[in-house]
Amino acid sequence: MSIVGTGGDETDASEFVVSEQEAGRRLDQFLATALGGELSRSRLQSLIEDGQVRVDETPVLLPKRKVAAGETVRLAVPEPEAPEPVAEDIPLAILYEDEHLVVLDKPAGLVVHPGPGNWTGTLVNALLFHCGDTLSGIGGVKRPGIVHRLDKETSGVMVVAKSDAAHRSLAKQFAAHGQDGKMERAYQAVVWGVPSRPVGTVEASLGRSNSDRTKRQVVKDGRPDARHAVTHFEVLERFGTEGANAALIACVLETGRTHQIRVHMSHIGHPLIGDEVYGAHFRTKSKKLGEVGDVVAAFPRQALHAFRLAFEHPVSGEPMEFETELPDDMQELLEALARLEG
């Protein structure tokens, strides 16, 4: 048996190829072995009977159906039904609000919408309390008003739609990624090392990681899940000496892929300080920073802040621009790095 791959956003899907040794086994038995006991036989039988299993892209509804060598068996496990989010009195830093939209400064540590492990305490729960039933319903009950998102540990400016008309317009602007001249999304990040060029562009397609479906990686353009991604960066400030240095950079997105800045900067050898997903291998560099290294090593998140968001008001057409200062934790990180020699 060999694993072909996994994928899909709405379900947890896995594919397996039947080997010569496994030929002739019942479909439910084959899957039970392939999954290493992760799902019970009775659960697998129910999934098969519900149409969640395909053999060579053909749905198979009989658990006792025998598999043949070379066949590809695909199992899709639907996401469990999630509870509807409830309103929670969570403080929000509102930058602007009218009948069509809300602009806010999201703190690090706040998840945008409910999901596995975070059914409460999210931005959506806070918005339901703040806005009541006025949020746009286009995103569904789990993501009312949500037009875009920031990672849990990324801070910064977000816009939320309160009307369906605003949702449609803002979604169109985000989809254009600023190519229509209406929107700009800019970030500030603190990275390991100093890029060799003061201004540069990273253009590299992103896809799911081969080892972890929650991560992204740079992939070849021909891969089915490859998504074109472009990040422009500029070095704003340099810290330290050669071999023990860091930089504050600004990044402007030309595309908006999951974890784009984090993956792109790691790809060129400058992962974000505090990024345990894409930059954990750089943590040992903090030992070269002397007493400053203790502050850097203790930084609890990826040092990334969405400091600027500009867009066209979805109803009036008025240009709107919002900027926020770096949060306290990133300010303290920069102050520590400023104590480095050089």
- Hey, which residues are catalytic here? 151
According to DSSP H, which parts of 146-223 are helical?
A: 164-176
Cα 30 from Cα 73, distance rounded (Å): 9
Cα 31 from Cα 305, distance rounded (Å): 44
Beta bridge partners of 94: 104
Cα 9 from Cα 311, distance rounded (Å): 28
CB 135: neighbour CB atoms within 10 A?
23
Cα 171 from Cα 160, distance rounded (Å): 10
| The pair of three-digit structure tokens given for residue 262, joined into one six-digit string | 């984090």
Beta bridge partners of 218: 206
**How does DSSP assign 39-87, residue by residue?**
S-HHHHHHHHHTT-EEETTEE---TTPBP-TT-EEEEEEEPPPPPPP--
Q: Where are the beta strands (DSSP E) in the chain?
A: 2-7, 11-17, 53-55, 58-59, 72-78, 94-97, 101-106, 155-161, 184-192, 199-203, 206-208, 216-218, 230-241, 244-253, 304-312, 319-323
Strands 72-78 and 101-106: unpaired
Q: Which of 226, 172, 176, 179 is nearest to 203 (CA)?
A: 226
